[in-house]
Amino acid sequence: MKYARNCIASMKGYVPGFQPDPRENYIKLNSNENPFPPSPRVKEVLQNLCYEDLRLYPDPDSWELRQKLGALYGFSPGQIICGNGSDDILNIILRTFTPPGEAVGFYEPTFPLYRVLALIHGAKVVSLPVAEPYDQPPPLLEDLRVFFLANPNSPVGFAYSTDLLLQMAQKIKGVFVVDEAYAEFAGENALELTRNCPNVIIVRTVSKSYSLAGVRFGYAIGNEKLISEMFKVKDPFNVNRMTQALVMAALEDQGYFQKNIRQIIETRDWFSKEAAALGYRIIPSQANFIFPKPQKGRGVKFYEALFPRKVLTRFYDEEGLRDGVRMTIGTRQEMAEVLCVMEEILPEFR
Ligand SMILES: Cc1ncc(COP(=O)(O)O)c(C=O)c1O
């Protein structure tokens, strides 16, 4: 007797990046985490959390956070929904707007979770490949219930302009999801599109930009009609009490957040130039990672040369991604060490 649904039995499941014991002292550049600790205000709140309150359920609506995010970006709380990481938000979107059996689309390479969530839901997956040069997107796919676009793209790091996204939003018949997991590191974002395009939902996370991958918090901003439907689908208490308190503390410290973002962007731009000068091919990135490619040889060999030298990156055994690795931007000192390693291994790629 087979107990699992056919669509589950026949799929692979999402494979997260390797998460080593922190004491192993890797330069950990494989999950796009922020190299800086969260705001000191988060630490203060963490130390003063009332343990007795843990017996109580959290606010099911994350009301205070929605007010805070609304004030930061100029939206009403009714246009915002919070989730247990943006993974949760993507899942809620899929379940709210895609009837099982109907189509969900995206360009590839992209964040692999879109495909996995669609398959779990029993949706049809429609995808089109994108390749270099990345400034022109391929033709739009029609008749989709949901189209996911990671912008900036992951795992490559390029970004489409907001003008182009507007054109896409106007042509797409279903819900157009712009996943802005990395938008804080980019020159532009698409928040304004939600004001005039009733089908656009922007998805954000505090995992990368606020150094809070461990607390699990993401949110979506969009037209109130879309957001209110999503509220019916989310788990009732999907953002826990500790997360709500810690994220609030981080959002209140905008100065700390902006300083970290600036440093990461500066390090990314400096590192990209230096790596290119060594002879690596670099696609300009708008995110907190880059996708360097050695001149010759395969990405897997590059990954394997870095790994024993304690530099942990992400290799994707996928069409269009086999000639490089995805590498998160760490601190300036970490990236200087990585550059030395990349210079040392160069002879292997001549
Ligand atoms: C494009 C993209 N979207 C969403 C996520 C998920 O982020 P979160 O930690 O908020 O679940 C990631 C994580 O790597 C990502 O790369």
pLDDT tens by residue, 55-113: 999 999 999 999 999 999 999 999 999 999 999 999 999 999 999 999 999 999 999 99
- pLDDT for position 242: 97
Q: Ligand 1: which of 18, 86, 239 to mutate, judged by most atoms within 8 Å of the beta carbon?
A: 86
**Longest alpha-carbon distance in the chain:** 61
181, amino acid identity: A
- pLDDT for position 16: 86
Those residues with Cβ within 8 angstroms of residue 221's Cβ, 6 or more apart along the chain or in another chain: 69, 73, 75, 79, 80, 191, 194, 201, 202, 204, 227
- pTM of the predicted structure, to 2 decimals: 0.96
Is any atom of ligand 1 closer than 6 Å to the C-beta of 111?
yes
- pLDDT for position 296: 82
Is any atom of ligand 1 closer than 6 Å to the C-beta of 46?
no
Domain covering 6-38+255-349 in this structure, CATH number: 3.90.1150.10
Residues of the chain with CATH 3.40.640.10: 40-253
Those residues with Cβ within 8 angstroms of residue 103's Cβ, 6 or more apart along the chain or in another chain: 123, 124, 125, 126, 141, 143, 144, 145
Is any atom of ligand 1 closer than 6 Å to the C-beta of 210?
no
Name the nearest CA neighbour of 269 among 255, 280, 259, 282.
282
Residues of the chain with CATH 3.90.1150.10: 6-38+255-349
Q: Which two tokens stand for residue 27?
A: 């330069």
- pLDDT for position 316: 94
Q: Which ranges of 141-253 would DSSP assign to H, the alpha helix?
A: 162-171, 193-196, 224-233, 241-252
Name the nearest CA neighbour of 141 among 111, 115, 171, 121.
171
Is any atom of ligand 1 closer than 6 Å to the C-beta of 181?
yes
**Ligand 1 centroid from CA 244, angstroms:** 18
- pLDDT for position 31: 95
* Cα separation, 240 vs 194, whole angstroms: 27
Is any atom of ligand 1 closer than 6 Å to the C-beta of 207?
yes
Q: Which residues of the chain have pLDDT under 50?
A: none
**Ligand 1 centroid from CA 133, angstroms:** 24
Domain covering 40-253 in this structure, CATH number: 3.40.640.10
**Ligand 1 centroid from CA 147, angstroms:** 16
- pLDDT for position 18: 85
Name the nearest CA neighbour of 179 among 215, 154, 210.
154
241 φ, ψ (degrees, to nearest 5): -55, -45
Q: Which two tokens stand for residue 126?
A: 């429609």
